[in-house]
Amino acid sequence: MEFQYFLPSEILKPYIKHYYIFESDSDIEFQDTVFPSGEMEMIFNLGDGIWESLKDEKFHKTPKIELWGQITKPLAIKSKGKHTMLGIRFYTHSAAYFFNDEVGVFNDQILNLEDVIGKPITTLHLQLLETSDIKKRIELIETFLIKKLITNDKKSQKIQKVAHILSSLIRDPSENNINIVAAKYGMTPRYLHKLVFQHTGLAPKSFNKIRRFQHSLKLITDNNSPLTSIAYDCGYFDQSHFIRDFKSFTGTTPTAYLENQFTINHLLI
């Protein structure tokens, strides 16, 4: 099982966090859980393996071209067969540039991207299958994304406003700051919530909770600090607050996670 990461070209750096290739030569079946990341993804399945995700207490086969909406709770997945997957990970606000829909409608779903974008994405998938050269594959994806970016250029003003709002919330995630930020942009707190949700799939409070959780996940994975220290370093009130939030996003406690780390999330941090 191997992940490789690739940075986007200069023109797409403000919108794309990275591209990645996931390859697995093993036929071993395994089950895993994906945690909320605060970021949306597009994934092209270029191998023969099968992925399934849990929905309504049943596992369902995922499409060959996947759109991952914002995942706000732990999502169980299954893998079978050998995989080659090419993924595009957006920044929290930037996926909105590439879709006509308000991205909140995609939450907690793995959708068939053909149903969302149509024939152009089907054509791109076929082109990606015709070459095994990673440089060529990324060039094909970037050509597609740049065209989408130009087509949706009129959305840029609102999306940039959302980006600035998120930056303000990162600097000060307190509830009181939401009111201050709203006033700064000449809007009500209610409209600020609506604007952020439409363009990110997350309410401001959820955005901050997932960011804090992801930071704690990285600290747990990277070092051997006591959980109490990690809780305070990440801005939790106390250890019980940390454990409660961690469990809501993973389905397990920090201690249990340390004993049995989830492979996919470990690679994606």
CATH number at residue 116: 2.60.120.10
Distance, in Å, from the CA atom of 15 to the CA atom of 215, rounded to the nearest integer, reads 21
Mean per-residue pLDDT over the chain, rounded: 91
Do the bridges between strand 75-80 and strand 30-34 make them parallel or antiparallel, or are there none, so unpaired?
antiparallel
Q: Are 43 and 127 contained in the same domain?
A: yes
Same domain? For 131 and 62 the reply is yes
Same domain, 45 and 88: yes
Residue 219's domain is classified under what CATH number?
A: 1.10.10.60
Structure confidence at residue 175 as a pLDDT band (50, 70, 90): low
- Cα 167 to Cα 235: distance, rounded to the nearest angstrom: 17
Please tell me whether residues 65 and 136 are part of one structural domain.
yes
Residues 186, 123 share a domain: no
The answer on 142 and 10 residing in a single domain is yes
Residues 171, 182 within the same domain: yes
Asked whether residue 37 falls in the same domain as residue 80, the answer is yes
Predicted local distance difference test score (pLDDT) of residue 149: 92
pLDDT surpassing 80 at residue 268: no
121 and 227 part of one domain: no
Strands (DSSP E) contained in the chain are 2-6, 16-24, 30-34, 41-45, 50-55, 58-61, 65-68, 75-80, 83-90, 110-112
Query: Domain check: are 86 and 215 in the same one?
Result: no
CA dist 139 and 119 (Å) reads 19
Residues 75-85 have pLDDT tens digits of: 999 999 999 99
Q: 99-127 pLDDT, tens per residue?
A: 988 999 999 999 999 999 999 999 999 99
Which range of residues forms the domain containing residue 254?
Answer: 205-268
Is the whole-model pTM more than 0.75? Answer: yes
Residues 121 and 159 in one domain: no
The answer on 162 and 111 residing in a single domain is: no
- Which of 116, 151, 186 is the last residue before a domain boundary? 151
pLDDT band at 263 (very low <50, low <70, confident <90, very high): low
Scored b (16 or more CB within 10 A) or e, 13-34 reads eebbbebbbbbbeeeeeeeebb
Number of domains the chain contains: 3
pLDDT bucket at 265, cuts 50 / 70 / 90: low
